A and B are shown apart, each in its own frame.
Chain A
């Protein structure tokens, strides 16, 4: 071991150094605490043996300096002492001393203390190594998660690519790096737009993996998308209920899927007819905001995808008036608790939509987001993913038709 001795009495210091050198250790001698501190800063000592009373800097002061200067290795500190009173020992321990060695130094006691120091130093080195490994693993995971989060963000609607003919705004606040919520707007043809919002049970990596898988199935790429059905050489746009039934066939709860399921609402917005044909699978009801700002829940009673093999999802159609809004959201919005465990709830969301009806969809999304965070009341991550998508119709039509 490389050992630093701090002792102002040269006879004692030389004798101790001789003994330690004979035992095979590398020894550096300092004639007071200040010199010892200078050596300590420049070298890597496994062990420091210091006298208690020294001019300029006492052993306890040296010890405190060593402990207040964290390094990437641990230095075991032994205080040489004839002091046996409780207060002195407590002061030394509080300054960071690990062990005491009585003066005059006895060889057997010295060897016992060195063995004990060696054990602690080795354990500490192992612990530090483990910590470094864990820290590296954590950094790698965090980096992967950040990369995955960027990929996940890239799966959300891209305003520049879409060239949307209607006002729409959205927001996704993942509760962890990755979200189990996902949504998108898919151009199905020149006047029909597929819009979905889904929420995979749980959150974190497992949920995010499933949400990414689903987003690939719910894409505009006809070859891999579940939104289209092949008819000879052409592709049919499937109705929302057909899409949900197909998903339900593929994603039944099983051990393979880790017991995961998801809720979803999928609709096709037709900009020519101003209709919104949709189907829901256990998802919180859409909110329709009329021209007076009054929000109405569009009830949907079907089970989440994966619960029962025979899903039997059905389509419904809404006729929208120009300026009316449809609000898609995940349960993270309405089930957000405050500090008294009261949930945010649909009514509070509906009230907010009414009171802020004059806002643009973008402003509305932001004000809801802010309101949810204010409601939760704590900084840091939210307890669940929060996703929101608001669409505003932009032509004139007359009434609702239910099928």
Chain B
């Protein structure tokens, strides 16, 4: 289980195209995504590794959300965790790192 460094951290082009350049909407959407991301990660952390199905479900949803907003590297991590939920604790430090990268990249995009 590794961070795929060849994948981009964040790509905003597709979101921008779908939102037809509405920067205010994009800003609300991405900040909302970051909030939601934090919340879901906390839930995953709190979830016992025995509840693999619950972890899988959360990861599946977050994988889709990350792909949708263009958080490609993080989406890949969720994909890995969805496939092997029993490795959850092993992956958490890597999650912290990629989440930080993603949040920084998103905020940089949103900065005027």
Q: Which residues of A contact B (CB under 8 A)?
A: 8-12, 14-16, 18-19, 22, 51, 53, 55, 82, 103-107, 110
Contacts and interface: CB of A to CB of B under 8 A. Distances in A.
Given A9-B61, A14-B32, A104 B68 contact: yes
Contact of B64 (A22, A55, A82): A82
A12 B57 CA distance: 16
A61 to B, nearest CB: 16
Contacts, number: 59
**Size class of B's contact patch?**
20 to 34
B60 A103 contact: no
B14 A106 contact: yes
A15 B60 contact: no
Given A9-B65, A9-B68, A12-B65, A22 B36 contact: no
Contacts of B22: 18, 22
Given A9-B65, A19-B19, A14 B29 contact: yes
B68 A105 contact: yes
Contacts of A10: 32, 36
B19 A103 contact: no
Contacts of A82: 64
B102 to A, nearest CB: 13
Given A18-B19, A22-B20, A104-B70, 15 more contacts: A10-B36, A11-B36, A15-B15, A15-B19, A15-B68, A19-B19, A19-B20, A22-B22, A53-B57, A103-B64, A104-B64, A104-B68, A105-B68, A107-B18, A110-B18
Q: Which of B19, B57, B61, B62 neighbours the largest number of chain A CB atoms within 10 Å of its CB?
A: B61
Given A11-B29, A11-B68, A82-B64, A19 B18 contact: yes
Contacts of B25: 18
Interface string B5-42: 00000000011011110100100010011001000000
B67 A103 contact: yes
A11 B33 contact: yes
Contact of A104 (B29, B61, B67): B67
A18 B36 CA distance: 18
A380 to B, nearest CB: 55
B99 interface: no
A31 to B, nearest CB: 11
A11 B32 contact: yes
B44 interface: no
A58 B36 CA distance: 21
